[in-house]
A and B are shown apart, each in its own frame.
Chain A
């Protein structure tokens, strides 16, 4: 592990730089597609925020499951493989943070759009409430990570991540149980849902762009968290003295 610290030069690997550049290109094309898509019949140009609102909201329902999966892996590896468990924990943290980021953007774009389209910033309808709940759940997850005792942060947050992930579909299903002001689900929401075929490319390009961006952010955050873990490990071993510390490294 010590050698790893010396190796990391502080720059991204080549493939990550390529991924970043590609993401920017797709994002730029997505922006072009969103701005040149035909005007919407009733909302005019106003609806274009939809091309950003939709990817962020859909993706912020995907990332929680990366977080949940990583948490399961953490609990599985906890007593079997310490190194992998630490990696899973770092990934869970990265996924949760990006979830909160995307949900915040989804909420913000939704509120802006709602103000312009419905005349109100916020309505307590089922979909918006459940989405706000998703946001609250993962903010509370991040708070727990901060507040829990240092030795058990990973376990406590992994368990909480599983609870949160169970909670998400229960919230999501309430859309079908409660009256809603939000337009019915864009995909698979019945005969009145859906979008005009001419808008599909713009939706898909933006979807891909923001998914790539999310993956990039998670990767970055994961790398940073792994570096922090290595640093605190090295710090802890430093207290044992160089000799013992180095021996301990070899044994592991």
Chain B
């Protein structure tokens, strides 16, 4: 098996597990929907279209970030049942294939949530984007990958710590801040049409490349941490 096949095997395994229970996607979807509704309590989105355009990018990503965090915490917990993780450590396959497979699976889950959430968001918040909407097709996957790649990595990092659920956001949020800034700025640029998102897309691309590399290189160390 070459590297791509190993990644694909891990990915297929994660997708199958998710398909059987659908825990992550259902949980994330409902959680994100709740965040959208809760945020609508904070201000009146339908009555102030300009303000809504200005802040919706941020709200969308905040909802997605929190939703993704609930799923990321669970994504490695599956591997600890029946000591599957130890089997992975013994396996001849490179550890990074396991990581890339799981990150891809998480990416697909969060993207699935976005596909459902984006129309809901548009309807509920009465959004009329003024920029080039097709660029969202670049920004959403890039931003999602930026969140998920570090999220999957740090979820593995905090796997055997005392309070796993607390540790993940504490680590993930500070590291993701430049990416969050970039994806929020880029999305806001498209919603308001006031400035070009190009610069922030470039920042996102740089961030994604740098941190994907770091995650892939260091995952072996994390997997065999003790």
Contact = CB atoms under 8 A, between A and B. Distances in A.
Interface in A148-172: 148-149, 151-152, 155-156, 159-160, 162-164, 166-167, 170-171
Nearest to A158: B221
* Interface size class of chain B, counting residues whose CB lies under 8 Å from the partner chain: 20 to 34
A162 B210 CA distance: 12
A140 B222 contact: no
Interface string A125-144: 00000000100110010011
B211 interface: yes
Contacts of B20: none
Contacts of A162: 214, 218
A177 interface: yes
A159 B221 contact: yes
B199 interface: yes
A156 B162 CA distance: 13
Contacts, number: 83
Chain B binding surface SS class = helix
A140 B170 contact: yes
B207 interface: yes
Chain A binding surface SS class = helix
A155 B221 CA distance: 8
Interface in B126-175: 150, 157-158, 160-163, 166-167, 170-171, 173-175
Nearest to B163: A147
Contact of A171 (B177, B210, B226): B177
B214 A166 contact: yes
A107 to B, nearest CB: 15
Contacts of A163: 150, 175, 211, 214
Interface string A51-92: 000000000000000000000000100000000000000000
Contacts of B174: 133, 136-137, 140, 164, 167
Contacts of B178: 133, 167, 170-171, 174
A85 B138 CA distance: 43
23 contacts: A136-B173, A136-B174, A140-B170, A144-B171, A148-B160, A149-B226, A155-B225, A156-B161, A156-B222, A159-B157, A159-B221, A160-B171, A163-B150, A163-B214, A164-B174, A164-B175, A167-B174, A167-B178, A170-B178, A170-B206, A171-B177, A174-B203, A177-B203
Given A148-B161, A149-B226, 14 more contacts: A140-B174, A144-B171, A148-B158, A151-B226, A156-B225, A159-B218, A162-B218, A163-B211, A166-B214, A167-B177, A167-B178, A171-B177, A174-B178, A174-B181
